[in-house]
């Protein structure tokens, strides 16, 4: 049965329905950093209608878990978790930067950095190596730093000013990445609590855990947002 993939970790709301064979049955997107909540349900309905798939026929929901701005990121993660709960199916997370890297590495060999806008004047980034005829490797990050100021590891792609190539996330890539990992034998992860990262957005504690997971061949994550920083707002 097909899976529903979605991502709201950037200004782009992107949705796709992907078959278990990796065929993209339908996809839809909307570019507006302030309209994720309004756009997402409509895009999901459109994609399911085009694909000819009823919600009850879905087998899995995959969601981009960031890093990204707090509000937009939460929209996608909450939608995925709530819908999966209502349908009685699993939800799984994928780091948005990893999904972008997967697509880029299909046509590019060498080092590169994926950078996406986080909030205010900050960016989220991760560095990768794409060896010839080998899977892409995440070699540094994810971290959040002021823009400009992030390290440039080879070619720089993403949605911020000054990149070498503008590349936005696509839910279809996220869905295919999930299917590839499941086919490779990677199990769906259990929920876990990420550590409390520093308020400056360095995100080192969480990044260390993510690096150890990749070293063990685990790219799939629980459907929980990766903020990489504490929020400014605190309880009164």
Inter-residue contact 166 to 117 (CB < 8 Å): no
Give a yes or no: residue 226 inside a domain: no
The Cα 55–Cα 79 span in angstroms is 13
Specify whether 129 is located in the same domain as 178: no
Closest listed residue to residue 117, CA positions, set 165, 53, 156, 67: 67
Percent of the chain with pLDDT over 90: 70
Pair (30, 112) in one structural domain: no
Average pLDDT over residues 22-32: 96
Looking at the structure, tell me whether residues 26 and 11 fall in a common domain: yes
Number of domains in the chain: 2
The reply to whether 51 falls in a domain is: yes
Write out pLDDT tens, residues 95-129: 999 999 999 998 898 999 999 988 777 899 999 99
Question: Range of 80's domain?
Answer: 3-96+169-215
Is the same domain home to 195 and 90?
Answer: yes
Q: 233 pLDDT band (50/70/90 cuts)?
A: low
Q: If you ran DSSP here, which 8-state letter would residue 170 be given?
A: -
How many Å apart are CA 108 and CA 110, to the nearest integer? 7
Flag whether 107 is in a domain. yes
CATH number at residue 119: 3.30.420
- Please tell me whether residues 119 and 185 are part of one structural domain: no
Tell me, yes or no, whether 104 and 188 share the same domain: no
Q: What is the pLDDT of residues 158-173, one digit of tens each?
A: 999 889 999 999 999 9
Torsion of CA 116, 171, 61, 184, to 10 degrees: -90
Average pLDDT rounded to a whole number, residues 227-235 = 74
- Residue found by looking up tokens 């707090």 in the block: 70
Is residue 174, in this structure, part of any structural domain at all? Answer: yes
């Amino acid at each position: 049965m097909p899976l529903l993939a979605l991502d709201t970790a950037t200004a782009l709301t992107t949705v796709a329905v992907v078959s278990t064979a990796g065929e993209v049955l339908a996809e839809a997107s909307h570019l507006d950093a302030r309209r994720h909540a309004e756009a997402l349900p409509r895009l999901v309905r459109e994609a399911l209608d085009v694909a000819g798939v009823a919600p009850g026929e879905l087998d899995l929901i995959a969601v981009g878990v960031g890093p990204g701005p707090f509000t937009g990121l939460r929209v996608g993660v909450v939608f995925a978790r709530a819908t999966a709960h209502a349908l009685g199916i699993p939800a799984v997370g994928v780091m948005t930067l990893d999904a972008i890297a997967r697509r880029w590495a299909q046509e590019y060999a060498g080092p590169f950095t994926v950078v996406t806008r986080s909030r205010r004047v900050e960016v989220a980034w991760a560095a990768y190596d794409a060896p010839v005829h080998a899977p892409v490797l995440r070699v540094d990050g994810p971290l959040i730093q002021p823009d400009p100021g992030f390290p440039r590891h080879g070619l720089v792609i993403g949605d911020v000013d000054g990149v070498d190539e503008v590349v936005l996330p696509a839910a279809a890539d996220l869905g295919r990445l999930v299917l590839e990992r499941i086919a490779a034998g990677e199990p769906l992860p259990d929920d876990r609590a990420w550590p409390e990262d520093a308020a400056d957005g360095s995100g080192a504690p969480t990044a260390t855990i993510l690096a150890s997971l990749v070293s063990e061949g685990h790219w799939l994550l629980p459907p929980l947002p990766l903020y990489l920083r504490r929020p400014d707002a605190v309880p009164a």
